[in-house]
Structure 1
């Protein structure tokens, strides 16, 4: 049990560049899962529709807690976004999406789905054996994350920048993170953050 440690290795205002560098890091993974974790808080109807096209049939929820005015019970968004017209869908914004999705679907379409909302793609896998002799534990926490419009691995506040993270063992592995950052011509840009 535990969480990975996420090291930021790139920040840029260019979403395509952040995505390109994240994919370069993914190419280093010895193993990579067939699904990615896709998180999105679409800011517009267009963005909701684009995410829905990437992940057909998967559920959205309200981004903020909403309660029934009469009962005080929490409300869940249980409507099919593809069945709502634009005006009806706009009444429910902001929405949130957080689900595993087939990797190929996300990789082929995520850049066209982006707008001003926050989105994150997480590729889980396994780094090749680390060159640091002092690190000998196996890791189930390895992978790459690109966070569009954010700089916290746990999807905190909106920013202009997009951040690429490398995720490593729950104990942290700064030498590995530095080696991975160097692969894309960068360096570790801050302290380890709580990852997945």
Structure 2
């Protein structure tokens, strides 16, 4: 039970640099999951088409779905992004997607497709045992996440920079986070946030 604690350990205005630093941390995991989690919010028609080209099998949903005033059911996004006219797609924005892919297959293309909306790539895994850490690694909680266009892992606040987070156990393991940040030549950049 519970969620990981995610510490921000690197911040930059360059999306590719953020992704590259996240990969450096991912390489330190004792093992990582076979799947990677991709999440994106698309705000413009161009961003939507670019993201749909990278994730053709992904389901896109409304960020704030409209409600039918009679049935009180929430509307589902039903346009085909690749064939919809710009004039039909634009009023449907913003949209979001959550998609899982095999690790190492689409992450680079995903980074290059990120537009103005918030987005993230998350790799779950397990940190190796470390005598300097407060606790052993835990596969349920450990991992690395790069968050584009934001610095709050809960998607609450857009920003004009990108943040790399390390996830540790639900009690927080500041010594481990500090050591991981130091691997990037950085420091922990803020308090632990509630992670996955």
- Alpha-carbon deviation of 1:101? 2.3
Counterpart position of 2:75? 75
- Farther off after superposition, 142-151 or 39-48: 39-48
Cα distance in 2 for residues equivalent to 1:134 and 1:106: 34
Counterpart position of 1:54? 54
- 1:21/1:133 Cα in 2 relative to 1: closer, same or farther (>3 Å)? closer
Moved over 3 A (4+): 69-72, 136-139
Counterpart position of 2:22? 22
Q: Aligned pair 1:120/2:120, yes or no?
A: yes
- Alpha-carbon deviation of 1:132? 2.6
1:2-31 deviations in Å (ceiling 9; x for gaps)? 110000001121212111111111111111
Structure 1: segments with no counterpart, 5+ residues: none
- Alpha-carbon deviation of 1:108? 2.7
1:140-196 deviations in Å (ceiling 9; x for gaps)? 211111111111111111111111100001111111001100000001011110000
- 1:137/1:9 Cα in 2 relative to 1: closer, same or farther (>3 Å)? closer
Q: Aligned pair 1:143/2:143, yes or no?
A: yes
Cα RMSD over matched residues?
A: 1.7
Q: Aligned pair 1:104/2:104, yes or no?
A: yes
Structure 2: segments with no counterpart, 5+ residues: none
- Alpha-carbon deviation of 1:54? 2.4
- Farther off after superposition, 73-82 or 52-61: 73-82
What secondary structure sits across from 2:120 in the alignment? strand
- 1:60/1:172 Cα in 2 relative to 1: closer, same or farther (>3 Å)? same
Cα distance in 2 for residues equivalent to 1:117 and 1:104: 23
Counterpart position of 2:9? 9
Question: TM-score scaled to structure 2, two decimals?
Answer: 0.92
Cα distance in 1 for residues equivalent to 2:165 and 2:2: 18
What secondary structure sits across from 2:121 in the alignment? strand
In the alignment of these two chains, the number of paired residues is: 196
- Alpha-carbon deviation of 1:139? 4.0
- 1:137/1:114 Cα in 2 relative to 1: closer, same or farther (>3 Å)? closer
What secondary structure sits across from 2:154 in the alignment? coil
Cα distance in 2 for residues equivalent to 1:187 and 1:21: 13
